[in-house]
Amino acid sequence: MRTIVVNNQKGGVGKTTLALHLAWHYVEQDKRVLFVDLDAQGNATATLARPTPEQPRWQAHGCGLAADLFSPARLEIDPAPPFQLLAASSRLNMVDAALEVALDAIRIQHDGLSPLFDLCIIDTPPAFGARNLGALMVCDHLIAPIQLEDYALSGVNDLLKSIAVAEKLRGGRLDFLGLLPSQFRANSSLHRQNLETLVRDLGRAELLFPAFLALRQGYVEAVGRGLPVWMIRDNSAAAVAGREMRHVLGLVANRVALRS
């Protein structure tokens, strides 16, 4: 199982939108996919667990609670359904209180789940704590959506610091795919300026993902309907969003395949 974590300690930057599309991308390729929703707000859970008449294939089978990844009692999962969800719950907010237990548990639970799935996609909460650290500890790949509206280097530095902490705990590097500008407006001089400043401040071009997701209503509509954006066929703006998302997902998938 390859585990891809979507993380940034800021909220509203497009993590859940990207995590859902990553999962749907692999579901479409008939991979066995486990989606883990670590955000107690449960936006991804609401999208994946809600039955939609349009296309049941984009819905996930609920196989337990993500909070149970952080407790020692072994998770028992029926291996049959190809697309499964460890759902969010309010108990996730308690995980951060017992850091050591949580980190030991997620490592063991993740190892136990590994033979059952090809891919594990983890969506994370907008706060640093045991859940985010645990996700960074077990992941193979990390991608971090960022917003350029109110770009602050301190947020990016916090993220890089938490990667360093996780790498120390796990005793090895994780594959950081980069910062992915999301809700990007190429015609905004503020966004372009902030992007230039970011590249200059980072000093390492490989920290920036080689593509972006523009601000497009298609993404909002897709998640609202519980479908990948490329499945919205009745509107040409959504078709542009579909191609853009597929390009980003293709770049991620190439990198994942390369390192597998």
Ligand X SMILES: Nc1ncnc2c1ncn2[C@@H]1O[C@H](COP(=O)(O)OP(=O)(O)O)[C@@H](O)[C@H]1O
Element (H, E) at 112: helix 99-113
Touching ligand X, residues 220-249 (CB under 6 A): 220, 223
In eight-state DSSP terms, residue 214 is B
The span of 10-18, 111-119, 141-149, 190-198 binding Mg ion (CB under 5 A) equals: 10-18
Task: Out of 129, 216, 228, 255, point to the residue binding ligand X (CB under 6 A).
Answer: 216
User: CA 99, CA 57: separation in Å to the nearest integer?
Assistant: 36
Q: Does 109 bind ligand X (CB under 6 A)?
A: no
Strands, E assignment, 51-185: 61-65, 83-87, 119-123, 141-146, 175-181
In eight-state DSSP terms, residue 74 is P
Task: Out of 3, 4, 15, 195, point to the residue binding ligand X (CB under 6 A).
Answer: 15
Could you say which of Mg ion, ligand X, none residue 213 binds, taking C-beta under 5 to 8 angstroms by partner kind?
A: ligand X
Listed in sequence order, the residues at least 6 apart from 163 whose beta carbon sits closer than 8 Å to its beta carbon are 136, 142, 174, 176
Q: How far does Cα 115 stand from its chain's mean position?
A: 21
Answer yes or no: are the C-beta atoms of 178 and 212 closer than 8 Å: no
Residue 111 beta carbon to ligand X: minimum distance, rounded to whole angstroms: 27
Task: Out of 15, 32, 131, 255, point to the residue binding Mg ion (CB under 5 A).
Answer: 15
Residue 193 beta carbon to Mg ion: minimum distance, rounded to whole angstroms: 27
Q: Does 219 bind ligand X (CB under 6 A)?
A: yes
Q: Does 48 bind ligand X (CB under 6 A)?
A: no
The span of 10-18, 22-30, 59-67, 105-113 binding ligand X (CB under 6 A) equals: 10-18
Touching ligand X, residues 183-212 (CB under 6 A): 183
Touching ligand X, residues 146-185 (CB under 6 A): 182-183
Q: Does 16 bind Mg ion (CB under 5 A)?
A: yes
Residue 72 beta carbon to ligand X: minimum distance, rounded to whole angstroms: 29
253 CB-contact burial (10 Å; exposed 0-12 / middle 13-18 / buried 19+):
middle
Q: Does 132 bind Mg ion (CB under 5 A)?
A: no
Nearer to Mg ion, 14 or 218 (CB): 14
What token pair was written down for 87? 């759902």
Total residues at the site for Mg ion (CB under 5 A)? Answer: 3
Listed in sequence order, the residues at least 6 apart from 66 whose beta carbon sits closer than 8 Å to its beta carbon are 36, 37, 38, 86, 87, 88, 89, 92
